[in-house]
Amino acid sequence: MGKASLGLDNQVYEYLLSVSLREAEVLTKLRQETNQHPASIMQISPDQGQFMALLIKLLGAKKTLDIGVFTGYSSLVVALALPEDGRVVACDRDPEATKVARRYWQEAGVEAKIDFRLAPALETLDHLIAQGESGSFDFAFIDADKRNYHNYYERALTLLRPGGLVAIDNVLWFGSVADPQDTDARTVAIREFNQKLHQDTRVEISLLAIADGLTLAFKL
């Protein structure tokens, strides 16, 4: 599986990047280092990162959630797009991958914008809700363990303001969600999540076939 969007051949994808990608040097460096990681497939693609940065600017976002940090690309691309007083609450329980993340946040000079919580994301999100932060976030990116997508989504929606946006990654799960024979627990979880979102009248949605599928849910 390459990094291109599902169904987009490499030649077209390379062209797309060549005429649209404006990736900061520090992001390129992080992406190259992460490519050596055995789980590098977990990193978002650079065109998806640039799209998320654009969403941050469109929303005028200041407070964001990054649920599933890995080596930090999504937190970094969002932090770079945020204003000086912007904040990313970054949630991950993996101390090793996030060491890489923290090194790059520092190198990019955005570590002050990133409030990193080394804990299961559900605990962090419940803590934010208990602290009275419901309705105060502008944007949330969900890209952690797939079987908890439903739980992350519900908490993210609570924490968002009306007019805020949740972006959910890997909703096409390399195409496996479309194969009824595929009953892997993660595939089933994403399939059920997609069906639930389709019926959810609390949000306006759009499922984009960018990278491995990205659903945008706009809180009404």
Q: How far apart are CA 156 and CA 167, in angstroms?
A: 10
Q: How far apart are CA 127 and CA 36, in angstroms?
A: 34
**169 in contact with Ca ion (CB under 5 A):** yes
Question: CB of 152 within 8 A of CB of 125?
Answer: yes
Strands 137-142 and 114-118: unpaired
Q: What binding mask, one character per residue, do residues 118-157 give for Ca ion by CB under 5 A, x or -?
A: -------------------------x--------------
Residue (201 or 206) nearer to Ca ion, CB: 206
Q: Do 203 and 165 touch, CB atoms closer than 8 A? A: no
Handedness of CA 126, 127, 130, 132 (dihedral sign): negative
CB of 45 to Ca ion, least distance (A): 9
Residue 94 corresponds to which tokens in the numbers above?
A: 């993996």
Contact assessment for residue 60 and residue 85, using Cβ atoms and an 8 Å cutoff = no
50 lies in the binding site for Ca ion (CB under 5 A): no
Q: Which is nearer to Ca ion, 39 or 220 (CB)?
A: 39
Cβ atoms 74, 159 nearer than 8 A: no
Identify the residue among 98, 170, 194, 215 touching Ca ion (CB under 5 A): 170
Contacts with Ca ion: how many residues (CB under 5 A)? 3
Residue nearest to Ca ion (CB): 169
Smallest distance, Å, CB 152 to Ca ion? Answer: 13
CB of 145 to Ca ion, least distance (A): 11
48 binds Ca ion (CB under 5 A): no
Residues that bind Ca ion (CB under 5 A): 143, 169-170
